[in-house]
Structures are given as C-alpha cells and as structure tokens.
C-alpha cells in the first residue's frame, strides 16, 4: 500500500461517524437526526403513508409485507409526523431496523 493510500485509509477510519438527517418538513423545518442505533449514515428514509398499512396487529410495510407489532421496540415516535424507515444496508426491501411513526389521535 502506498503512503497516500495509507494516509487516506487512516483518515477514513479515524473520522467520526457522520449523523444522518431526515429531510426538513413543515413540522421540523431544520430536519432532525436519526438515532445512531437506527442508522449508520445511509439506512433511513421517509416513506409515504401509502407505504405503511396500520391495522389492529400493527404496521405492515407494503413493499415487503413485514409486520411490526405495536409493542416492537423498533417502533419510534416520528418528530416530524411522517413515516420513516431504517433498513439493513438502506435497501428498501431490507429488514426494518427502526420504523418512525407519526403520533396518533386515538
């Protein structure tokens, strides 16, 4: 490995983890940061209400059919009132790490 490559590698390894932020919305005009436990800088994104079905058994991710029950610790409160999903490797069809759900009025 050349000296330049070794320096580059050392800088990349020593760099602090970069926060991954949600896109700003009317409710959160400056955006908000996904918790590190849910995200490694690329794993989270907003998903539209139509991408999640809410029912008596919990939340179903329409793209994968994955059911996340109401007491599942992966469910988090959404600071901006929108659904957000964090998945393994950031893949839309990956297993859910965290699901941010809007507050409900019932």
Contact in structure between 89 and 43 (CB atoms under 8 Å):
yes
Give the CB-side neighbour count of residue 28, counting CA atoms within 13 A. 14
In sequence order, what are the beta bridge partners of 101?
77
Q: Which two tokens stand for residue 65?
A: 């059919």
pLDDT of 2 reads 58
Which residues are CB-contacts of 11 (< 8 A; sequence separation ≥ 6)?
A: none
- Average pLDDT of adjacent 10-residue blocks, the chain of 106 residues: 46 42 74 84 86 93 95 94 92 93 73
pTM above 0.85, yes or no: no
Residue 15, classed as helix, strand or coil, is coil
Q: Which two tokens stand for residue 4?
A: 């330049």
Helix (H) or strand (E) holding 14: helix 3-14
How would DSSP label each residue in 43-81? Answer: SEEEE-GGGEEEETTEEEETTTTEEE-TT-TTEEE-TTS
């Amino acid at each position: 490995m050349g000296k330049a490559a070794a320096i580059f590698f050392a800088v990349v390894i020593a760099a602090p983890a970069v926060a991954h932020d949600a896109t700003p919305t009317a409710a959160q005009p400056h955006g908000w940061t996904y918790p590190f436990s849910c995200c490694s800088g690329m794993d989270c994104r907003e998903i539209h209400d139509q991408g999640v079905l809410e029912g008596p058994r919990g939340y179903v991710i329409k793209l994968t059919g994955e059911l996340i029950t109401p007491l599942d610790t992966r469910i988090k409160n959404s600071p901006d009132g929108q659904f957000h999903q964090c998945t393994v490797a950031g893949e839309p069809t990956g297993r859910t790490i965290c699901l941010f759900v809007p507050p409900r009025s019932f």
